[in-house]
Every structure is written in C-alpha cells, then in structure tokens.
Chain A
Amino acid sequence: AQKVTQAQTEISVVEKEDVTLDCVYETRDTTYYLFWYKQPPSGELVFLIRRNSFDEQNEISGRYSWNFQKSTSSFNFTITASQVVDSAVYFCALSFYGNNRLAFGKGNQVVVIP
C-alpha cells in the first residue's frame, strides 16, 4: 500500500522567514513518482514539482526548493523568504509507474503573516 504522511497540519511564519514542509512516504514499488501541489484559497490544486524515484537530485525553482532522500523516504519542501502569496495548503502525493492514482497526504496549511 502507498501512504504519504505530512505531520504538521498548520504552520505560521512571519513574512521573509523560511518554512520547511516534511513529507514521508511508504511504498513497496521501486519505480514511483512524488509530487507537490499548492492549493490556495481559491481551491484549485496547482502543480509545483514531480520527481521520479531514480532522480535524487535536489531542485531549486526561485524561492522553492526540494530535498529528496530515498534513504529516509522523504521529499521535503522549503519556501525561502516566504511571502503572503505563499499562504496556502501544500500537498505531497505519490504514484507508481503504470497507475496514475495519486495518494495524497493530509496537507500542510501555511499561513504567512505580514
């Protein structure tokens, strides 16, 4: 069975602080994919990143960065110098090759205080 755990439910930070969201996953498959989505108050899930199980390179995109560690089954997400527009719920998700069903975590509510 596939499972994604996002432990922190709500995280409040002051603008310009960094925030890290933890994602721990469980799967027996050797080929799998990890995703992060952002859900702003408008409700639409916005795709942020996709990573396959063979690519452990960390990635940086602007103020966003991701740290993938297979040894600890984690795919953590950091927002650097947070802004009010980063206030949203962030979901980590997992799927395996050949089946597009996404298993989502419960999400992290990020509140950035101006």
Chain B
Amino acid sequence: EAGVAQSPRYKIIEKRQSVAFWCNPISGHATLYWYQQILGQGPKLLIQFQNNGVVDDSQLPKDRFSAERLKGVDSTLKIQPAKLEDSAVYLCASSLIQGGTDTQYFGPGTRLTVL
C-alpha cells in the first residue's frame, strides 16, 4: 500500500513570495492533516479535513495560509506572502476513520526555507 505522498521535498523562496505544497493521502483515508514542524519542536496541527470539509483550522494563520482539499482526496497548502518565521517542515498526514480517533500516517514532508 502506498504511503502519503508530498511534493516538493524541498523549497527555497524569498520572503514575501508565495509557495504551495501538495499532498496525496493514503487511498481511502477520509481525514487529512497539515502540520508545521519548526526545527527542534514537535509538529503543530495547522488544519484538518474530513473528506473535503474543514474540521479544525483554529491554528492556521489565515491571513497568509490557505488550504483546500477538492474532491476529498489531494490537498494543497499555500502560503502567501511568506515570512522568515514560516521556515519549517510541512508534514501531511492521513487517517482512515471519520470521527473518533485513529492513527495518523505521515508523509516525508516538505522542507521550506524562507530567505
């Protein structure tokens, strides 16, 4: 079974530029998550989708971050405009069960460097 796929793996941009990350979850997984992991810290949830609806985006900086999950499969996370403090690894995860609690499986992440 294929795991969670993410692209690109690495991205370097100048501050105030825009960037987008893509995630394809494990086939059949209803729930998709985006996490931000700053160096030396544990991941922090940015947004959670269940199918194509948003379940939790309370920690998403909505003035510059946006995410969508059209058709309930792939998802895109965008930052516009980027700031220096956005330098981090962006992890996508997916889980099978709708509601309740289920194990999350993570992708390899996208390492973003903002100069």
Contact = CB atoms under 8 A, between A and B. Distances in A.
Nearest to A44: B108
B43 A102 contact: yes
Secondary structure call for the A interface = strand
Contact of B101 (A43, A44, A98): A98
The 7 closest A-B pairs by CB, nearest first: A104-B42, A45-B106, A44-B108, A43-B109, A101-B45, A33-B101, A50-B103
Contact of B106 (A4, A44, A98, A105): A44
A45 B94 CA distance: 12
Contacts of B45: 101-102
A72 interface: no
A43 B89 contact: yes
A55 to B, nearest CB: 13
5 contacts: A45-B93, A91-B43, A98-B99, A100-B31, A101-B56
A1 B4 CA distance: 29
Nearest to B41: A106
A47 B4 CA distance: 13
Interface size class of A (residues with CB under 8 A): 20 to 34
A45 B100 contact: no
Contacts of B93: 45
A44 B93 CA distance: 10
Contact of B42 (A33, A98, A100, A107): A107
Contacts of B103: 35, 47, 50
B24 interface: no
